């Protein structure tokens, strides 16, 4: 249960602005803003705020900070479609029918998401908070020249860029979303100051089809990317084995100034868009590991974003409240507050869980064996291709 790992040294920030719910890809879209609104509501009702744990509004972000990483013609297209989502646009920009439809106010809403993640980075880098969380962030598929995978602008990348511009010399990005963190990797593939690590369901089975173990960074920055593809049916035990074998020694060896994480919870066994088999208890263990690494390698500087997760009521708010509780070092009540459950039903019609824990998931023996074989294959490949480049033997 959250709260048993390292305690937060000082202040913890929850970065939130109600207007971020304007990042809305439309009725019926899996990335529904209600999942983040319910997360913030559950954090508030669970007694995690106050006494040095505060909500913080994002400051206005200079548009130039977005343009640094996103191509001007793409940004111009986003602006144009924000005013008229029905306008025609080059399909190469990734906006339109499909995963990432245009919507009114898209540019402003996307910049606000970036602003919130930059604010989380600023809070941590300037020593105003030890840890900071933007649950609306984590739009890790956005590319410099196009939108992709529900993501218009890449807020984790924009925040990492801000940190580098403001004096950070080494930033480690760990992505636990079930989908490969491709956009962040692409934006920093040639920059040895940034180590990107992604644990995800193999692209053989899942969007975006990338994140192979052989992808280890660009020329002159080999070892700046580490990818751990996993097979369908991967349980928490197998997932943690991969994390402990590769991620922990890599982060320790890299010794970042800041740890930036994307906490997508779509690796959950019931997520409708993927095929791994984690529980919210597994995710709580993951957040505890990341918390410990932040304190042991980055002087506690931990910037966290949300990300994927499409069980809008039963998983996302629970998982990310567990993450925030871990950041604060506080215990959650055993039961999820009744008032929140009533709100969740009223807003979605979905019956929420009653507690913050759940039973382990069982998979078939054949699927488990396949998952173990795949995970250990990824571990061995990275022990050969990446860890030695960081002095890990």
CATH of domain 12-390: 3.40.800.20
Report pLDDT for 2. 45
Mean pLDDT by 10 residues, the chain (393 residues): 48 97 97 98 97 95 91 97 95 94 97 98 97 98 98 98 98 98 98 98 98 97 98 98 98 98 98 98 98 97 98 98 97 96 98 95 96 98 98 93
What is the pTM assigned to this prediction?
0.96
Q: How far apart are CA 266 and CA 310, in angstroms?
A: 6
Report pLDDT for 6. 53
Residues designated catalytic: 141
Torsion 232-199-273-271 (CA) sign = positive
Report pLDDT for 4. 42
Q: How far apart are CA 133 and CA 279, in angstroms?
A: 21
Other Cβ atoms within 10 Å of 335 Cβ, number:
11
C-alpha 234: how far from chain center: 19
Per domain, the residue ranges of the chain are 12-390
Report pLDDT for 3. 42
Give residues with Cβ within 8 angstroms of 62, minimum separation 6. none
Report pLDDT for 179. 98
């Amino acid at each position: 249960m959250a709260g048993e790992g390292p305690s937060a040294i000082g202040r913890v920030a929850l970065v939130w602005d109600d207007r971020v719910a304007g990042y809305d890809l439309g009725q019926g879209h899996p990335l529904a803003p209600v999942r983040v609104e319910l997360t913030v509501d559950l954090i508030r009702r669970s007694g995690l705020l106050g006494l040095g744990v505060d909500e913080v509004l994002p400051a206005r972000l200079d548009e130039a900070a977005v343009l640094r990483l996103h191509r001007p013609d793409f940004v111009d297209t986003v602006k144009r479609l924000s005013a008229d989502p029905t306008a025609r646009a080059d399909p190469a920009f990734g906006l339109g029918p499909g995963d990432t439809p245009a919507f009114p106010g898209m540019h402003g809403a996307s910049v606000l998401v970036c602003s919130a993640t930059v604010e989380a980075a600023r809070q941590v880098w300037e020593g105003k908070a030890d840890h900071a969380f933007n649950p609306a962030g984590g739009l890790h598929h956005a590319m410099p020249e196009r939108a992709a995978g529900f993501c218009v602008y890449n807020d984790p990348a924009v925040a990492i860029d801000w940190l580098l511009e403001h004096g950070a010399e080494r930033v480690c990005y760990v992505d636990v979303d079930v989908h490969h963190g491709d956009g962040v990797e692409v934006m920093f593939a040639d920059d040895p100051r940034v180590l990107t690590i992604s644990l995800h369901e193999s692209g053989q089975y899942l969007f975006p089809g990338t994140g192979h173990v052989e992808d280890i960074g660009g020329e002159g920055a080999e070892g700046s990317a580490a990818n751990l593809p996993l097979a369908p049916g991967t349980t928490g035990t197998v997932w943690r084995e991969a994390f402990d074998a590769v991620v922990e020694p890599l982060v320790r060896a890299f010794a970042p100034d800041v740890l930036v994480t994307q906490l997508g919870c779509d690796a959950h066994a019931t997520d409708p868009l993927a095929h791994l088999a984690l529980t919210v208890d597994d995710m709580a263990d993951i957040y505890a590991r990341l918390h410990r690494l932040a304190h042991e390698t980055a002087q506690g500087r931990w910037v966290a974003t949300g990300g994927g997760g499409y069980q809008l009521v039963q998983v996302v708010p629970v998982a990310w409240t567990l993450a925030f509780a871990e950041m604060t070092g506080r215990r959650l009540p055993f039961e999820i507050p009744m008032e929140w459950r009533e709100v969740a039903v009223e807003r979605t019609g979905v019956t929420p869980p009653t507690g913050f824990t759940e039973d382990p998931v069982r998979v078939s023996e054949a699927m488990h064996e396949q998952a173990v074989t795949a995970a250990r294959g990824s571990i061995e490949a990275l022990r050969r291709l990446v860890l030695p480049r960081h002095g890990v033997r």
